[in-house]
Amino acid sequence: MKFFNSFLFILFCSSIGFSQTLVCPGATTVFKDWPNQGQGTAISNIQYFIESIEPGQTSGPITAAPMSGGSGSCIDLDAAPPVADGGRYRIYPVKDVDHRNGVSTLDLVLIARHLIGTSSPLNPFQLLASDVDDSQSINVLDILTLHKLILYINNELPTTSWKFVDRSVDLINNPGDISKDFIEIDPNNPPSELLFWGVKMGDINANNSPFSAGNDDLKLRIENRDLVAGETITVDFLAQDFQDFLAYQFSLVFDQNVLAYEAHESVGLPGNDLIGWNTTEAQTGVIPNLWVGLGENIEIKDGEPLFSVTFKVLGNSTLQEVLRANSVLTQNLAYTKDSEEASKVVLDFNLTTNLENQKLANDQLMQNQPNPVDQFTIIPFSLEKPGKVELSITDALGRIVKSMEWQGLAGSQQIELQRTDFGAAGLYHYTLKTAYSQISKPLIVK
Ligand SMILES: [Ca+2]
Ligand SMILES: [Ca+2]
């Protein structure tokens, strides 16, 4: 493990001969060694977002894209939304990839021991890392959330995978300041350093790999369904961004008390590719399989089936409960075209997200009017079928600022939102989610 002592400083530079003002974040490091707060390991693949704040205000527009300047990862303040004299900028680090990084059952044990009081209390960084559902408290729901992540029932946490803390806050005397996830700077009087601690959410003992760029997993989408003893089902494994991949191998694992293997078929995988199945261990609930793409271009679209497996159903359950991709016999690996580092195959039971070929519904979400939002705005939408509707508003950093749920009717309808439903002025997204679809659109708040 390499330490980056020498990088623990901030460069602030005005390029000679240019009006460009660059602020260059120092190494953001994984916390370690509480309460000594010694140096940690530098974290890579961080993006920085900048918020401009007018005099007398406490927040302002956040640039939706990471800021970059003329050299390295420096932030060009001249490209940020301008602030008046006396205005300030806030800089937020963001990293939201590879949610399982560093998360293991040992982390569950550490949270559980903390909850029942059988270990020394967790330090402020560990407390922050433990609240994986962003509920501002640590309880058994955080353990269940991590449990689902480890078991590949869910592939992401409800929060960003990393959180950051201004490294200058005095957590020994002010433990509540752990939530200060930005550093405020005066553009006319820049700070001598700009340093953060990074906290990998769910990783209580901080054994993550901070360089992880979060290579995209290969998602095999599956429509979740109820299983009823006695029926025979054919499970389709559907493509999602499959054209980005070169090869995969994994163990398909199922609960042999609920499913009995009968047959498989390569429906959409190109026939000339190398495709392998080993069904000799199928009675124990494991089927290793692999695919190596030999063609130049893959033309399988999102939502089209790659392969299918037929099972006899022996007991009542749901598909999501009893089907997994893991490494029990054949190691779970997937390779993309643009990286030599392996990712994994994950089974994604949330079939309804971003599928081009919506099987069940033709839900529609229209642009809000008026946009930008001044006093109020109206969001028109249309549902194919009646049922539960969830509307959520997220800010430029993906944080939910409002969400609501109700029973929607079939057909065209609309919902009115007030300016007070949003936070500071800036870019937001609104997302409509039903049992069959999930659609997002941007909006701007004045
Ligand atoms: Ca919580
Ligand atoms: Ca860990």
Structure tokens at 288: 């290793």
Ligand 2 centroid to Cα of residue 4, in Å, is 21
CA of 122 to the centre of ligand 1 (A): 14
pLDDT tens column, 222-274:
988 899 999 999 999 999 889 889 899 999 999 999 999 999 999 999 878 88
pLDDT at 19: 55
Domain range list for the chain: 5-98+163-200, 105-150, 218-348, 364-445
* Distance (Å) from CA 313 to ligand 2 centroid: 37
**What letter represents residue 277's amino acid?**
W
Counting ligands in written order, the one closest to the CA of 30 is: 2
Q: Going by DSSP bridges, is the β-strand pair 226-227/317-318 parallel, antiparallel, or unpaired?
A: antiparallel
User: Could you tell me if 113 and 204 are in contact, meaning their C-beta atoms sit under 8 angstroms apart?
Assistant: no
Residue 127 CA to residue 166 CA, distance in Å, equals: 16
Q: Give the distance (Å) from ligand 1 centre to CA of residue 101.
A: 19
Q: What is residue 51's predicted lDDT score, i.e. its pLDDT?
A: 86
Mean pLDDT confidence for 63-78: 62
Residue 136 CA: which ligand is closest?
Answer: 1
C-alpha torsion sign, points 124, 129, 133, 134: positive
**120 C-alpha to ligand 1 centroid (Å):** 19
- Cα-Cα-Cα-Cα torsion 293, 337, 306, 436, nearest 10 degrees, comes to -170
Q: How far is the CA of 127 from the centre of ligand 1 (A)?
A: 10
What pLDDT was estimated at residue 66?
62
The residues facing 431 across adjacent strands are 392, 440
Cα torsion 172, 174, 179, 183: sign: negative
412 C-alpha to ligand 1 centroid (Å): 37
Ligand nearest to the CA of 201: 2
Q: How far is the CA of 146 from the centre of ligand 2 (A)?
A: 11
Q: Which residues lie across from 184 on neighbouring strands?
A: 90
Length of the chain: 446
CATH topology of domain 218-348: Immunoglobulin-like (2.60.40)
User: Residue 287: is its pLDDT beyond 60?
Assistant: yes
Centre of ligand 1 from the C-alpha of residue 129, in Å: 10
CA distance 419 to 58: 17
Q: Which ligand has the minimum distance to the alpha carbon of residue 100? A: 2
2.20.25.240, 2.60.40.1930, 2.40.50.140, 1.20.120.140: CATH of 364-445:
2.60.40.1930
What would the DSSP string read from start to end of 144-159? HHHHHHHTTS-SS-SS
Per-residue pLDDT tens over the stretch 300-358: 888 899 999 999 999 999 998 899 998 888 888 898 887 777 788 989 886 544 333 34
- pLDDT value of residue 12: 40
Give the whole-angstrom CA distance, residue 297 versus residue 340: 18
Ligand that comes closest to the CA of residue 109: 2
User: Per-residue pLDDT tens for 227-236?
Assistant: 999 999 999 9
